[in-house]
Amino acid sequence: MIQQLYITLPPFKRGYHLITDLIERQLPPLPDIGLINILIQHTSAAISLNENADPSVRYDFETFMNKLIPENDPSFSHVLEGSDDMPAHLKSSLIGATLTIPITNHRLNLGTWQGIYLCEFRNFGGRRRLVVTIMS
């Protein structure tokens, strides 16, 4: 069986935000075993699995990515939507737009220290939409 639903996230400020609980609260009852695929329908944000305990990880992600892909690079031509736009597209491509997570015993089978992150790369990204596909 395959189910599909949409989750609209509230606006988040630029940065890396744990959204595991927000997603889990909106899921229907999960099968005993299966897979869940989550797609973020945006090109200036990403979704990732990473450390869910120490908030310094989120700060370090932001610091590293901003060093790797700085704003106001004079070689960027896609600049009409602001200095954060082209860097956001590049960061989104590097981190990715999808996650696939196993479902075991009616729960997301995440590791002890894993959480789902919204990686918001725009200063004012607004609401973000996820497509969630559950396969059993």
Q: Where are the domains of the chain?
A: 2-135
Inter-residue contact 14 to 84 (CB < 8 Å): yes
Burial of 53 (0-12, 13-18, 19+ CB in 10 A): exposed
pTM, to two decimals? 0.95
Which fold does the domain 2-135 belong to in CATH?
Jelly Rolls (2.60.120)
pLDDT at 91: 98
Read off the DSSP letter of residue 109: -
Inter-residue contact 121 to 88 (CB < 8 Å): yes
Question: Would you list the DSSP string of 103-135?
Answer: EETTEE---TTEEEEEEE-STT---EEEEEEEE
Inter-residue contact 118 to 12 (CB < 8 Å): yes
What three-state secondary structure class fits 6?
Answer: strand
Q: Which residue's structure tokens are 């305990």?
A: 53
Pairing of strands 98-104, 45-51: unpaired
Would you write out the chain's pLDDT as a tens digit for each of its 136 residues?
999 999 999 999 999 999 999 999 999 999 999 999 999 999 999 999 999 999 999 999 999 999 999 999 999 999 889 999 999 999 999 999 999 999 999 999 999 999 999 999 999 999 999 999 999 9
pLDDT at 28: 98
**How far apart are the C-alpha atoms of 4 and 37, rounded to whole Å?**
9
* Count of residues making up the chain: 136
